[in-house]
Amino acid sequence: MSKVPVMEVFGPTIQGEGMVIGQKTMFVRTAGCDYSCSWCDSSFTWDGTGIDLIKQMDAEEIWAELVSHGGEGFSFVTISGGNPALLKNLSYLINLLKEKKIKIGLETQGSKWQDWFLNIDELTISPKPPSSGMETDFNALDMILGKMKATDNRNQTSLKVVVFNDEDYNYAKMVHLRYPEIPFFLQVGNEDNKTTDDQMLINELLKKYEWLINKVMADDELKDVKVLPQLHTYIWGNKRGV
């Protein structure tokens, strides 16, 4: 059985976050997560509320769905979740995308390893800060980042930490200083991922973004880092599937 549980396929749209921010991409969102972050903005992938959306699909079916949405207009696919790293069987999709010369981006929190990580072009490891309520398994993280480093370097690995408060900020710093050679992204947390008042949301997010920038600029221990917002929220607010 080479199927995986898929929650939604959409695009083309832009990647709003992290190392490939702005990239034109299709999205495949898988179901299921081993975490339950307090502020998860895709909790429908694991909390039962999205259960009717889940389809068990094999690689060819996912490809057909990608093409039905994206036609001839894409060369990049982002796999997100939930935690796609739970799914050993994603290897079939990843191999198929490779055959089709599609570049692949993937984000995971860094709790699980899969051998197919080595075939991801742009791998974002996003360990979760204290405000999530989750505990980081640093043994797993060390192992994953060690294995990625040992590869021939054609693929890119980065770390991204979402920051809601000072405690998260200190956690982010600790992560960066533990893995100083890995490209590091700080991202503003979205405190209110339910509101539909886009103007208020943007103003709040910009205020938080400025707060985070100011902290990093004043901090001599964070030098070679990038500070980014969630760009798509500026355009589409909290809407899903865009």
Which residue in the set 20, 77, 134, 144 belongs to the binding site for a copy of itself (CB under 8 A)? 20
CA–CA distances in Å: residue 115 to residues 131, 147, 157, 231: 30, 10, 14, 31
35 binds ligand SF4 (CB under 6 A): yes
83 binds ligand SF4 (CB under 6 A): yes
Which is nearer to a copy of itself, 2 or 214 (by Cβ)? 214
CA distance 159 to 181: 10
Burial readout 142-169 (b: 16 or more C-beta within 10 A, e: otherwise): eebbeebeeeeeebbbbbbbbbbeeebb
233 binds ligand SF4 (CB under 6 A): no
Binding to ligand SF4 (CB under 6 A): which residues in 106-145?
109, 128
Judged by CB under 8 A, the stretch of 84-92, 144-152, 164-172, 216-224 that binds a copy of itself is 216-224
Q: How far is CA 152 from the centre of its chain?
A: 23
Which is nearer to ligand SF4, 83 or 119 (by Cβ)? 83
Is residue 148 a contact partner of residue 117, using CB atoms and an 8 Å limit? Answer: yes
9 binds a copy of itself (CB under 8 A): no
Q: What are 76's strand-pairing partners?
A: 103
Q: Which residues bind a copy of itself (CB under 8 A)?
A: 11-14, 20-24, 71-76, 103, 185, 202, 206, 209-210, 213, 216-220, 222-229, 231, 234-235
